Copies of this chain bind each other. A is one copy, B any other.
């Protein structure tokens, strides 16, 4: 079928490529960058020079996938494009949008007869090759209409063994895409997916940190090990309980450089981790691990927190303790007082 794509960054461009190559679909594409449009047009897509042109080139009912950074730019693009569309067209937001924004937008668009579908898309830079795992929120009728698109983007069964006890369940799920429920639910599920991702990443990160710091002079001899982190990551990939794609990636990075000196350790976060914790709080669900993972990222981006200065000030207040200063970290800051 035909799809329109707005936003030809890493994700958007690869989605178009996969749709054309894997599914034989036709794509009309638009991006604020003419170069980005030209590049994909050279691969077989129909490039649009502006949104009017883009809309004109699409057959009704139109299917338009928006793949832009979540937030203001997605919001304004949807507002603009909605003014150009007709009844029964569908807008698909494939970015990392806050699910309550989906619900609000869908309500507005519904008045004009335009459908809205939110697709949480996982797969990162590997999606072109491996396919995208998709969590899809929206009305059943329109999600079904888009099924050829989702089927082409999804990874498919591949070599992954089936799960027992799934007889009678929707087989599309085993292709790697799922209609999660009404509008908003796709991004809600993707949000929690990313919240979990933060927790998994932090668990691995802490474990490797403990392995690395076992080789510290300040430790007693019976606690000191000089371990080969790259080999450890590799061996865990084989038959261990913690084997996972994130471990595969860690093993790759450590094989390239065991000290990871290419990275400073300044870790961004992208919204979903925060919204996941907010959702947990609204639901009164204790989510210690997901929250700790988020806070570790916050902390990674500061040299010192004001909180830490408050601690130092208190310590001086009651104990006359002077800060040890930014001394050799191998002393680990243990003091006798």
Contact = CB atoms under 8 A, between A and B. Distances in A.
A142 B51 CA distance: 53
Contacts of A197: 241-242
A266 B314 contact: no
Given A206-B285, A311-B201, A265 B163 contact: no
Contacts of A299: 286, 299
A274 B285 contact: no
Interface string A291-317: 111111111111111111111111111
Q: Which of A180, A202, A326 has the largest count of B CB atoms less than 10 A from its CB? A: A202
B244 A243 contact: yes
Contacts of A199: 199-200, 202-204, 206-207, 289
A289 B287 contact: no
Nearest to A256: B165
Interface residues of A, number: 172
Nearest to A155: B239
Nearest to A303: B303
B204 A166 contact: no
B242 A312 contact: no
A1 B303 CA distance: 51
Interface string A178-219: 101110110011001101111111111111111111101001
A298 B284 contact: yes
Interface stretch (A19-27, A31-39, A109-117, A228-236): A228-236
30 contacts: A125-B319, A133-B240, A163-B234, A174-B238, A177-B235, A185-B225, A189-B211, A189-B227, A189-B232, A193-B241, A193-B242, A195-B206, A196-B242, A205-B310, A206-B289, A219-B283, A242-B244, A253-B314, A253-B316, A264-B309, A264-B312, A264-B325, A266-B308, A266-B312, A277-B291, A284-B298, A284-B332, A288-B291, A288-B295, A298-B333
Given A177-B235, A254-B313, 17 more contacts: A10-B320, A124-B241, A133-B239, A180-B227, A195-B207, A204-B314, A210-B276, A212-B306, A263-B309, A264-B304, A265-B305, A266-B304, A266-B312, A288-B296, A289-B293, A296-B307, A297-B311
